[in-house]
Amino acid sequence: MQGRAVVVGVGESVYYKHGGSPDSEFQLACTAIRNAAADAGLELSQLDGLISYMDHRNSPLRLAAALGFDELRWSATPWAGGGNNSSAALQFADAAVCGGYANYVVAFRALAQGQFQRLGSGAGLLAGAAPEGLSWGLPYGLMTPAQECALQTKRWMHDHGVSQEALASISLACYANAQRNPRAVRHGKPLTREAYHASRWIVEPFHLYDCCMENDGAAALIVTTPERARDLRGKPVPILATAQGLGPDIGLPSFQPRWFPGMYYENVGRTIWQRAGVRPGDIDVLQLYENFTGPVLMALCEIGFCKPEEVEAFVGGGALEGPDARLPFNTSGGNIAEAYIHGLEMVIEAVRQLRGESTCQAREVELSLAVGGPGYAPGSAVLFGPAA
């Protein structure tokens, strides 16, 4: 916390379309971690911590052995959900390093959705009867994150008079920024507002382009102390604050009226601002996980960037597009247009903005925020700041 831990290396595999990876998911994980270690100037044997989220296939035990760690001293994964924990992985790394439990902690995520079940697919849910947790929705054909987030978004748009154009603006900003990023799976495939509106409905109010992609790839970051970072090649980027959690009575994905509609980000935002001593208006560049466009709008409001009644103006008119945007946003293209590595590629982009290495580089960046997936608890966020 407060700059006592730093990101000292980032690494990625090539990002592929769903099913496009010639490498196995485990190979992708190893590649991203090797690239992060090389970026930092570390030997793989020096790494001693591994953190992921919603990853039950690439265990720290297997990775530490395959990568030749001298020892594994810290491994962890957050409870529940998926990409909502993309920034929580950095919180765990921050805690491990600040607590002295490990020296070089890796946060990683590997996804090969062509080799394993697609996250947005309900197909794996249908082997027999619906177990209790799914029984309240699955018999009614309510089973995917797109449908769940659509129900939240529909009510929120109704309550606050938000139009489809606001949703479109999120997707268009991601696509515009991805055109600058050769890593982006959607690089060279610009999106127009007309094409957005003409795309097929997945579940109203989400068109195809309101939904993130499904991809194969892996991403990794390495966290250490500023003291250790001095001896390394990588430019250290301090972690100023992290947050993870949920407010009262909202952990159940059951649409109960006390918090419906809601994205679980009020308390995460409050915690970030309190711990870092800054306000939303101080943020120079924002990466906000888009599972779907509607939850992005809701999370923007819950975190405190604007009020629901202001959101159309806040995101409209190209306000989020390009390096000179009013608020540079999802500057790599995000989950919608760079790659869906469960949001960890967006945490890397937040680091890149402070290293001055983004393909959509914002000016004079001092505060770079990465927010995890909205709509599933616990939410998470990580704020990076300038090197001391």
Write out the residues near another protein by the rule CB under 8 A. Answer: 121-123, 125-126, 128-132, 135-144, 146-147, 150-152, 154-155, 158, 200-205, 249, 252, 254-258, 260-261
Torsion, Cα 222 381 258 274, to 10 degrees, reads 130
CB of 205 to another protein, least distance (A): 7
Q: Is 83 exposed, middle or buried (0-12, 13-18, 19+ CB in 10 A)?
A: buried
Which position among 53, 175, 340, 376 bears the catalytic label? 340
* Residues 191 and 178 sit within 8 Å (Cβ to Cβ): no
* Residues 81 and 57 sit within 8 Å (Cβ to Cβ): no
Which position among 15, 175, 209, 289 bears the catalytic label? 289
CB of 261 to another protein, least distance (A): 7
Q: Which two tokens stand for residue 246?
A: 């949920």
Q: Is 274 exposed, middle or buried (0-12, 13-18, 19+ CB in 10 A)?
A: exposed
The half-sphere exposure of 28 on its side-chain side, counting CA atoms within 13 A, is 28
* Residues 184 and 16 sit within 8 Å (Cβ to Cβ): no
Beta carbon nearer to another protein, 66 or 125:
125
Question: What contacts 197, CB < 8 A, 6 or more positions away?
Answer: 164, 168, 207
**Is 104 in the active site?**
no
CB of 170 to another protein, least distance (A): 18
Mode of pairing for the β-strands spanning 215-224 and 285-288? unpaired
Q: From residue 169, how far is each of 54, 85, 191, 317, 338 by CA, in Å? A: 29, 25, 11, 8, 16
Beta carbon nearer to another protein, 44 or 246:
246
Q: Which two tokens stand for residue 302?
A: 């819950």
**Is 289 in the active site?**
yes
| CA 72, chain centre distance (Å) | 26
Catalytic residue positions? Answer: 289, 340
